Amino acid sequence: MIHVDITVSGVVQGVGFRYFTIDRAGKFGIKGYVKNLPNGNVYCEAEGTDGLIRDFIKLLNIGPSMSRVTNVNVYEAKELKNYKDFKVRY
């Protein structure tokens, strides 16, 4: 299991990006949360197996059809937070 902090930039607010993220996290069994940031980016913390996290990140690089992702920054944290589910945070 790994924990990653992900920041997605571009046209990612107001286009269903958080709900796209929740849907994909559920399909991969990834735990954590996603939220909008005041600067227009989307931030996500995700925990799962290395391979599933990598596949999840690939999908975040694409995003939902109305989004336009310009950058995905990923930082692998040293400690797990042991999330129980995947939610939207406000």
Query: What tokens appear for 30 in the block?
Result: 């990834």
89 catalytic residue (yes or no): no
| CA–CA dist 16, 49 (Å, integer) | 25
18 catalytic residue (yes or no): yes
Residue from 12, 6, 4 nearest 62 by CA: 12
The residue from 18, 39, 71, 82 that is catalytic is 18
The residue from 36, 39, 82, 89 that is catalytic is 36
Q: For 35, which DSSP code?
A: E
Catalytic residues: 18, 36
